[in-house]
Structures are given as C-alpha cells and as structure tokens.
Amino acid sequence: MCYKLSHTPWYKNSIRSQAWLRYKNANGADIYVGMNPLKQDASTRTKDDIETIRHLYIDLDHGGSDALEAIKNSDLVPQPNYVLNTSHEKFQVVWKVEGVALEEAEGLQHAMVREFGGDPAATDSTRVLRMPGFANKKYDQDFYVQAGMESTETYRLRDFKVPMESPDAPRHHHEETARSHRAPGTTLSQSEHDWAYAKRALARGDDPEEVIRRIADYRGDDKSDPGYYARHTVSKAQDDLQRKSVAVGEPSGEDPDPTQEQTQSP
C-alpha cells in the first residue's frame, strides 16, 4: 500500500512520518518511495501527475548478481548512483538524471531491460521502489533492504548509449525482410534489436532459456505468441553463432554471406 504525506513542514513530517512508516512496516506493510516527484496538486499517481523525471532505474529480478556486474562493466550506461539489495539475488539499480523527458525515460528503461535483463513491468515513470532500511515483507522471513552509493553524478540523456527503439521503426517485420529492404544508415527494426540482443547474450554465456524469457517478457504486448517468437529468435541467434564458430575453426569452402559480419581468427 502507498501513502502520501500531507503538506506539513518537513521537520514535522521527518519525525512523525518515520515513526509512522516504521510502525506500518513492523505490522506487515511494505514501504516504497516514488522515483519521480508528483505535481503539487496531484491526487493520483499517473503519468499525467509526474512533474519531472529525476531518476532512471531497472529492477533485476532474475540473475541479479550477474546482471548487476554486467551493468557496472558496460560502456552503454554510466555507473549507477544507487544499488538497492531488495532480497536474495534481487537488486534495484538507480541513476539520477536531469533534462530527460518522460517518453525518453521509459524508452531507456525498456532498452536497459532488453540489454541487461530485468523486470519489463518496472519501466513506467510512476514506478515506486523499496525504501532502504525497511523490511521486504514478501517472504516468510523479513529481508531488510540495503542500499549502496556508487556515484554522485547527475546524468543526462547523452550519457546512456544503450540502443533505444525509434518511434518510427517498424515493430512487426521479420528481421530478414527488414534487413533486405533497409537503406544504409536507417533505424533497425525491433526484431533486429531482439536478434542482436540474443546474439550478445548468448555469446557472453547467458542461459538460452533465460534469454528467451527476457525477450518474451519484453515483446508480450505486441506479439500474439511471444514465447514462440522469443524461442525462434534465440534459435536463429544460436544457429548464426554456431555457423560463425565453425567458419573460424573449420573453413567450409563456402562463399561468405556479405550481409553478415565475418569473424576471423587472430
């Protein structure tokens, strides 16, 4: 359950609200905080009520430690400001930002889910995350949320290099069709982004079933059978990686496909 504090002076709210929240937490309530401030007169928590975007985030609910390590070592995103450990092997990663529009924020969060894995439902700008120091009440035994600070920077859109889907990019064309008809320099289709993500994830050793789950979750809203689509995408990516591996180790004598990247042995 979420509660909104009254507009009383901060010093009164600070003491009273902390005592009240700890009481609620001790008696079974989960405690969350909104990542983006609401307008002064807001009575609900919808996108229209968001005053400005202050944070970007990703909820790592599967493969937490590995996904967190991938984020910290990636050149596609800056170092997070905060990492919350919300339960065993589950993390919430937060970046402070300025000058980012709501649509850009949600697009980036979708892109980070696609790149690193995470909860595709936790990409809306109205999201609330857990409060450090309070207990996660979802499990039989309370897990107290811990937070670590990684950076004090405030980031802008240009600091995030993870590829976002263009609003004008086609979402329903098969990747081979899109590739054959695309002029040089134009935007990749979403299917091509999915296929490229599958290849990167498999190449770094991610479990194929986990990659399938991530893609199916991400494409659940616009595919009639996202599970089949995701499995087909990952299967094609595995075949492509296998062909390149064979081409490097055991030349087959076949002419290389000029539309594909070629890998050469050192």
Q: What angle do CA 140, 34, 112 make, to 5 degrees?
A: 85
Q: Which residue has the higher pLDDT, 251 or 199?
A: 199
CA dihedral of 31, 82, 112, 78, whole degrees rounded to 10: 160
- Cα–Cα dist 262/266, whole Å: 13
Q: Report yes or no: 100 and 113 within 8 Å, Cβ to Cβ.
A: no
Q: Report yes or no: 86 and 119 within 8 Å, Cβ to Cβ.
A: no
> Does residue 35 carry a pLDDT above 80?
yes
Q: Which of 187, 191, 195, 185 is nearest to 173 (CA)?
A: 191
* Bridge partners for 138 per DSSP: none
Average pLDDT, the chain: 78
Q: What is the DSSP string of 98-157?
A: SS--HHHHHHHHHHHHHHH---TTTTSTT-EEEPTTSEE-SSSS-EE-EEEE-----B-G
Q: Give the pLDDT confidence score for residue 56 in this predicted structure.
A: 96
CA dihedral of 102, 103, 107, 109, whole degrees rounded to 10: 10
Q: Which residue has the higher pLDDT, 94 or 11?
A: 94
State mean pLDDT over 78-92. 94
Residue identified by tokens 């670590």 is 148
- Cα–Cα dist 188/67, whole Å: 25
Q: Give the pLDDT confidence score for residue 15 in this predicted structure.
A: 80
- Cα–Cα dist 46/25, whole Å: 25
Q: Give the pLDDT confidence score for residue 204 in this predicted structure.
A: 81
Q: Give the pLDDT confidence score for residue 178 in this predicted structure.
A: 37
Work out the pLDDT band at 243, boundaries 50, 70, 90: confident
**Parallel, antiparallel, or unpaired: how do β-strands 82-87 and 128-130 relate?**
unpaired
Residues sharing a CB contact under 8 Å with residue 31, sequence separation 6 or more, in sequence order: 21, 24, 25, 130, 131, 134
> Does residue 73 carry a pLDDT above 60?
yes
Cα distances (angstroms) measured from residue 62 to each of 13, 40, 72, 111, 135: 36, 36, 16, 17, 20
**Terminal Cα distance for the chain, rounded:** 58
C-alpha torsion sign, points 197, 96, 68, 72: positive
Q: What angle do CA 187, 192, 193 make, to 5 degrees?
A: 80
Work out the pLDDT band at 92, boundaries 50, 70, 90: very high
Q: Which amino acid is at 18?
A: Q
State mean pLDDT over 68-86. 94
Q: Report yes or no: 40 and 50 within 8 Å, Cβ to Cβ.
A: no
Q: Give the pLDDT confidence score for residue 221 in this predicted structure.
A: 67
Q: Which amino acid is at 119?
A: D
Instruction: Name which of 23-37, 66-80, 165-179 the model is least confident about.
Output: 165-179
> Does residue 258 carry a pLDDT above 60?
no
Q: Report yes or no: 62 and 77 within 8 Å, Cβ to Cβ.
A: no
Q: Give the pLDDT confidence score for residue 218 in this predicted structure.
A: 74
Determine what percent of the chain is predicted with pLDDT higher than 70.
77
